[in-house]
Chains A and B, each alone.
Chain A
């Protein structure tokens, strides 16, 4: 089976298995993209921009400019850039955009509103540039996939070049199969020419045999404008795909366009097929031609609970609250705020979270527009879910395995192939929350996997330690024997000598020992110095830790964080007995344990340190953060 280039070029659209046809609800596709004003605070999560030996380049209180890099990374991860100018007000743990509302390390920038710019290096003549240079530019400007997975684009491109030797198909993904979301649609309508430039750059890097722009048929204006921009060029061909959810997911798109089923354990780019979202392509163009880092993205803001709807270009780090204020949220009781599309997004537990690269929409529907879920009833095994699953799974079987905590059976049944597309939950007549269960299952799976790795590593360490101890024991024994021997020999020698001779010999020995000790000490000092000079891993980690600790202190001082009350967590469980098993079976962390401990006896706790009654402290309200306190000169 060589690559079916000719077949693909014919332009046939293939069917992929499954899929659903939900209501489209794309009522913002006619609203032009507007620029959101600069908010007063930007909060930039660091999790995808730091990595193992990443370095934070700025410190609290430092002035930053727009486009200035804030982190330095190694490997695949891309650096973070400041979306606007301002002052770094803290580096602290803030709430992340995550369904559980977890916290993570963020850089918080207090903006100054001047939007003053950092230097940039545009490269208009990309046709004559080296491939490496282009990829480096894309990497340094922090371009990541805007489709949802947030995979670094440069890494994708270079893995294609490295493993597949040459790229066969480059697919520009303009499907946007999620209902309600129209940001890619708008981009194609407004920035078609820039997107074509971006495609040219990608083509220059990859040199693909076929380039396809795939757009679903329900976007006639986008199709027209892309066709217009591509008119009379041989840059790419436009494919109009039928409107089926989830055409936009990479595997299904590849199946629809090339009739190849790439298994989920393979990387598509390593198979010579690169799929890039139109937003990403635009970012590539900006990164290379204009030298602008990726600091903003277009999102759709929709929902009947908002006074107006539209598409906006937001800077990363803008809080959801700011956007909702701009669009005048009129919340209903238990208003749902959905980050992402209505099929794959999630409800936010708090609106004080930043927008990141993976968010494509912000939806505030009311209950008429998107009804709330009904209580689920039993599965009637109707098989609808199996008929719509694009990954060819049998969701109801998977579900029954998953709710009985049979993780091994889940893996065997193919939970790893599940893309969490939500088609099965959509179609289920019994309103069973299949996808939610799978999301949970995947999290549990990941956790168990990590747990196993940790276990294995601990075992290895244990083994190494035992070996070391054994070795040391042996060495000590040898030393002891040698010493005994020496003493014996000395005694024998001494017995033959006169007392003066013995005294002079002792003197000499002492002097020798002194010299030795001095040399050792010097050696130690030298080692220590060299350690500090070299930027070793340990030192870097320590640096980050220090920065973090300091940031937390500052955040506490500013009232961003509650006081650290870790002392309360030190507890002793009183009624723990052998068959109780409260601790023993705790493979899963607390967020993942669900409904498990309903019938278990409630453990009795005794605090090691008695918690003090919580007293609300006066926070520093209304005061400007004083840089002199934070950053003494």
Chain B
């Protein structure tokens, strides 16, 4: 027998809604768009010093993540359009593109992104429910599974690298399996004032290049053997205005600019970033003083590797850090501490990703320990009437 409801007697013609009726215009999508736009200066710097690799990587990451998100949404019977309407996956893709080596073969990128989107994010319940930062987890997945390919696909920065590592050359390496060493050598030898003359020449004598001389890509990778043996202080100093190191300085400036934009839009908490820098500088300084053979100095620590990117974009990811404002400060200090320590004693060259992942794991605990005091907790009515 059919159930009859005796309650509804007429059609509801008035619109019903829940209070409050006013809303800010700041939506998740706009936040994500601002984050993306704030990274534009950094992308430009990357292109200038490292070539077009990042653009290609970003396109691969973005396409993969869109496809993966759609598949997941389809499997979970959610609206695909609604899932794609927040651009969080694009932010993940861009951060991945920043952390992955510029010349990484495409299948590695696809695997890293798929891992990030499916295992790290969707398995936990999609946006907002993931425990670990997807970009960092995807990066670590590739680093751990195939360390070799990570070391020889980084481009050593050079001014005007985009002339050599242009779209055509980069796609050749990424999609057609050309040896990345050749392109890296070309970038390294490239002198922007000489380019017009030597252009044809360089492309001809690809085969003559001594491939082996370019292993040990990034600075952090270079000093690894020194710090392992405790002789870091013997590495000769360098100026950040030199050609090779200028890139890192420029990147740091670009990231700071992006971070400033985020601060202005109140997307990241200023206090958290400042605490991070203070803690990082303090810990690095003390450790450098005590063990100069293992720990680098503060400027090196800040400018090399992913410290700046991490400070503004990774640790501030709201989903995976602690929930309370106070907790976020502790979280920042923890990450700073872990970065310094892992950079000193870890066996992988970069530490930011590992530090962030470890701290992500601690976030629920931090949440528990830093619950906020409730309203009017120290109030006593009796004392108030005391004269």
Q: How far is the CB of A388 from chain B (nearest CB, A)?
A: 10
Q: Are B17 and A373 in contact (CB under 8 A)?
A: yes
Interface: A433 (CB within 8 A): yes
Q: A429 near B30 (CB under 8 angstroms)? A: yes
Q: Which of the residues B28, B381, B385 comes within 8 Å of A266, measured between beta carbons?
A: B381
Is the pair A349, B16 in contact by a Cβ cutoff of 8 Å?
yes
On whether the beta carbons of A261 and B376 are closer than 8 Å, the reply is: yes
Q: How far is the CA of A593 from the CA of B376 in the complex (A)?
A: 33
B82 touches A377 (CB 8 A): yes
Give 1 or 0 for each of A440-451: 1 = CB within 8 Å of chain B CB.
000000000000
- Tell whether, in the assembled complex, residue A347 and residue B324 are in contact, meaning their CB atoms are under 8 Å apart: no
**Chain A residue nearest to B82 in the complex (CB):** A375
Partner of B28, one of A270, A377, A436: A377
Whether A380 pairs with B128 at a CB distance below 8 angstroms is: yes
Report chain B residues within 8 Å CB of A335. Answer: 14-15
B126 interface contact, C-beta 8 A: yes
The docked-state distance in angstroms from the alpha carbon of A381 to that of B318 is 6
Is B20 in contact with A343, judged by CB distance below 8 angstroms?
A: yes
**Stretch from B1-9, B56-64, B192-200, B307-315 at the A interface:** B1-9
Q: Which B residues are CB-close (under 8 A) to A291?
A: none
Q: Check A334–B380 contact: CB distance below 8 A.
A: no
Chain A min CB distance to B111 (Å): 25
Contact of A430 among B27, B385, B386 (CB under 8 A): B27
Point out the residues of chain B lying under 8 angstroms from A66, CB to CB. none
Chain A stretch 248-268: residues in CB contact (< 8 A) with chain B: 251, 260-264, 266
Min CB distance A314 to B, Å, is: 20
Docked CA distance A270–B3 (Å): 52
On chain A, the residues within 8 Å of B21 by CB distance are: 336, 338, 342-343, 345, 365, 370
**A486 at the A/B interface (Cβ < 8 Å)?**
no
Please give, as numbers and ranges, the residues of chain B lying within 8 Å of A375 by CB-CB distance.
Answer: 82
In chain A, what residue has the closest Cβ to B86? A377
Which of A261, A349, A351 makes the CB contact (< 8 A) with B12?
A349
Tally chain B residues at the interface, Cβ within 8 Å: 54
Segment from A137-145, A401-409, A495-503, A601-609 that makes contact with B:
A601-609
A342–B22 touching, CB < 8 Å: yes
For residue B346, give the distance in angstroms from its CB to the closest CB of chain A: 29
Are the CB atoms of B376 and A264 closer together than 8 Å?
yes
Q: Pick the interface stretch among B92-100, B285-293, B367-375.
A: B367-375
State the CA gap A336–B18 with chains docked (Å). 11
Q: For residue B202, which residues in chain A have a CB less than 8 angstroms away from its CB?
A: none
Residues A427 and B384 in contact, CB atoms below 8 Å apart: no
A272/B385 in contact, CB under 8 A:
yes
Interchain CB contact under 8 A, B27 and A350 = no
- Closest chain-A Cβ to B25's Cβ sits at a distance in Å of 9
Q: Mark A271-291, 1 if CB is under 8 A from B, else 0.
A: 110000000000000000000
Of listed B128, B371, B376, B386, residue having the most chain A CB within 10 A: B376
A594 CB-CB contact with B under 8 Å: no
In the complex, whether A37 has a CB less than 8 A from a CB of chain B is: no
Contact A373 to B28, CB < 8 A, known contacts A417-B374, A605-B3: no
Q: Is A469 an interface residue (CB 8 A)?
A: no
Q: Could you tell me if B384 and A272 are in contact, using CB atoms closer than 8 angstroms?
A: yes
Asked whether any CB of chain B lies closer than 8 Å to the CB of A148, the reply is no
Beta-carbon contact of A436 and B23 below 8 Å? no
Q: Is the CB of A396 within 8 A of B381?
A: no
In the complex, B88 has a CB within 8 A of chain A:
yes
Known contacts A1-B384, A386-B325, A396-B323; A436 and B31 CB within 8 A of each other: no
Q: Point out the residues of chain B lying under 8 angstroms from A392, CB to CB.
A: 372-375
Cβ–Cβ < 8 Å partners of B383 in chain A: 1-2
Task: State which of B6, B27, B31, B384 has its C-beta within 8 Å of the C-beta of A568.
Answer: B6
Check A8 for interface membership: any CB of B closer than 8 A: no
B127 touches A380 (CB 8 A): yes
A421: nearest chain-B partner, CB-CB: B20
Which B residues are in CB contact (< 8 Å) with A347? 14-17
Q: Is B387 close to A, CB under 8 A?
A: yes
Q: Which of A340, A371, A396 contacts B23 (CB under 8 A)?
A: A371
> Do B128 and A429 touch across chains, with their CB atoms under 8 A apart?
no
Once the chains bind, are A264 and B375 in contact (CB under 8 Å)? Answer: yes
Residue with the highest number of chain B CB atoms closer than 10 Å, among A335, A379, A423: A379
Q: B residues 54-103 with Cβ under 8 Å of A? A: 82, 85-86, 88
Cβ 8 A contact of A334, one of B14, B378, B385? B14
User: In the complex, A20→B12 CA distance in Å?
Assistant: 33
Closest Cβ–Cβ distance, residue B112 to chain A (whole Å): 22
Q: Is B128 touching A379 in the complex (CB atoms < 8 A)?
A: yes
Residues of chain B lying within 8 A (CB to CB) of residue A2: 383-384, 386-387
Residues of B within 8 A of A340 (CB): 19
Contact string, A1-22, partner B, CB cutoff 8 A, digits 1/0? Answer: 1110000000000000000101
**Which residue in chain A gives the minimum CB-CB distance to B371?**
A394
Distance in angstroms from B120 CB to nearest chain A CB is 15
Specify which of A271, A336, A602, A603 is in contact with B17 (CB 8 Å cutoff): A336
Given contacts A386-B323, A386-B324, contact A263 B23 (CB under 8 A): no
Collect the chain B residues with CB atoms within 8 Å of residue A23's CB: 22
Q: How far is it, in angstroms, between the C-alpha of A365 and the C-alpha of B14 when the chains are bound? A: 12
Which residues on the A side are within 8 Å of B381 (C-beta)? 266, 270-271
Select from chain B the residue with minimum beta-carbon distance to A261.
Answer: B376
A630 within 8 A of B: no
Chain A residue numbers with a CB within 8 Å of B376 are: 251, 261-264, 266
Cα-based distance from A271 to B386 in the complex (angstroms): 11
Chain A stretch 418-468: residues in CB contact (< 8 A) with chain B: 420, 422-423, 425-427, 429-431, 433, 435-436, 439
Task: Check B129 for interface membership: any CB of A closer than 8 A.
Answer: yes
- Say whether A414 contacts B374, CB under 8 Å: yes
Say how far B374's CB is from chain A's closest CB, in angstroms.
6
Q: In whole angstroms, how far apart are the Cα atoms of A278 and B144 in the complex?
A: 68
Q: Does B145 contact A (CB under 8 A)?
A: no
Residue of A338, A378, A383, A603 near B128 (CB, 8 A) is A378
Residues of B within 8 A of A39 (CB): none
Task: Specify which chain A residues have a CB less than 8 angstroms from the CB of B126 in the assembled complex.
Answer: 378
Binary B-proximity of A528-550 (CB < 8 A = 1, otherwise 0): 00000000000000000000000
B binding-site residues for A, Cβ under 8 Å: 1, 3-4, 6, 9, 12-24, 26-28, 30-31, 82, 85-86, 88, 125-129, 318-319, 323-325, 328, 371-381, 383-387
Q: 28 A-B residue contacts at CB 8 Å?
A: A1-B384, A2-B386, A99-B16, A260-B379, A261-B375, A263-B376, A266-B376, A272-B385, A336-B16, A338-B19, A344-B20, A345-B19, A348-B14, A349-B12, A350-B14, A373-B23, A378-B126, A378-B129, A383-B318, A383-B325, A394-B323, A394-B372, A397-B323, A414-B375, A417-B374, A429-B30, A430-B27, A565-B6
Q: Which 6 A-B pairs have the closest CB atoms?
A: A422-B20, A263-B376, A334-B15, A436-B18, A261-B376, A378-B128
Instruction: Apart from A263-B377, A381-B128, A422-B20, list 16 A-B contacts with CB within 8 A.
Output: A1-B384, A2-B386, A22-B22, A23-B22, A99-B16, A261-B375, A261-B376, A263-B375, A266-B376, A338-B21, A346-B19, A374-B27, A383-B318, A425-B20, A426-B23, A436-B18
